[in-house]
């Protein structure tokens, strides 16, 4: 419960150790008890591992928004992913982690000052990202703004503006990040 609370408050780095701690609360006896108790109020180990992967990815995307790499959190996500059974959710998370690794490399390329290569790599990453990956979409806008400003290219900034307009109107993504992107774009 504390992990959920920290996650919902945006304290992702505080939520992570709480989810890790929750993983240690499972035993065969406790699982047996929980199976016969009200299952709606208990989670299973797979759900905790899935949540932990999601927290790691969320922390990584917070760092990406600041154009920082996040290899440490992606490595943690990979470790947790190993504990999930095969299935659709594991496949989706595997894809999300792979996209996040590409994004981390994009941040490194950008921070190295190789902006033109970063733009080329962004196109490749965009082709591989899931169409439903909202975190990548928001990052892409952030990255276009950063590269457009670094290269002094109004066309890139205009593309970012169009994507941001689409995100906030048609896609209905109105949150702290999109509001921050409008400020970043206009400053």
Q: Does residue 34 have a pLDDT over 90? A: no
Q: What angle do CA 84, 90, 96 make, to 5 degrees?
A: 125
pLDDT tens, residue by residue, 56-74: 999 999 999 999 999 999 9
Alpha carbon 103 to its chain's center: 10
φ, ψ for residue 139 (rounded to 5)? -60, -45
DSSP of 115-141, one letter per residue? HHHHHHHHHHHHHHS-TT-HHHHHHHH
138, 143, 57, 76: which is closest to 108 by C-alpha? Answer: 143
* Model pLDDT, residue 47: 86
pTM listed for this prediction: 0.79
What's the CA gap between 144 and 140, in Å, rounded?
Answer: 6
pLDDT tens, residue by residue, 8-19: 788 788 888 777
Find the length of the chain. 187
What's the CA gap between 114 and 29, in Å, rounded?
Answer: 55
How far is CA 187 from each of CA 26, 138, 145, 155, 157, rounded to the nearest angstrom?
50, 18, 10, 16, 12
For the chain, give every domain's residue range.
Answer: 2-186
pLDDT tens, residue by residue, 73-110: 999 999 999 999 999 999 999 999 999 999 999 999 99
Q: Does residue 22 have a pLDDT over 80? A: no
Q: Does residue 180 have a pLDDT over 90? A: yes
* Model pLDDT, residue 14: 84
Pair 56, 16: CB distance under 8 Å: yes
* Model pLDDT, residue 30: 45
Q: Average per-residue pLDDT in the chain?
A: 89
40 — pLDDT class (breaks 50, 70, 90): low
**3-state SS assignment for residue 16:** helix
Q: Does residue 3 have a pLDDT over 80? A: no
């Amino acid at each position: 419960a504390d992990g959920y609370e920290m996650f919902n408050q945006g304290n992702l780095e505080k939520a992570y150790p709480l989810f890790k701690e929750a993983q240690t609360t499972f035993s065969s006896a406790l699982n047996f008890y929980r199976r016969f108790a009200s299952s709606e109020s208990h989670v299973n180990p797979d759900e905790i591992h899935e949540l932990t992967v999601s927290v790691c990815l969320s922390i990584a995307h917070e760092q990406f928004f600041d154009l920082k790499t996040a290899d440490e959190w992606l490595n943690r996500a990979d470790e947790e992913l190993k504990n999930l059974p095969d299935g659709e959710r594991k496949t989706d998370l595997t894809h999300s982690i792979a996209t996040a690794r590409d994004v981390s490399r994009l941040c490194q390329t950008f921070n190295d000052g190789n902006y033109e290569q970063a733009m080329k790599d962004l196109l490749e990453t965009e082709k591989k990202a899931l169409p439903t990956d909202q975190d990548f979409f928001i990052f892409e806008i952030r990255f276009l703004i950063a590269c457009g400003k670094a290269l002094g290219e109004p066309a890139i900034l205009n593309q970012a503006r169009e994507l941001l307009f689409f995100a906030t109107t048609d896609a209905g993504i109105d949150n702290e990040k999109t509001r921050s992107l409008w400020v970043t774009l206009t400053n």
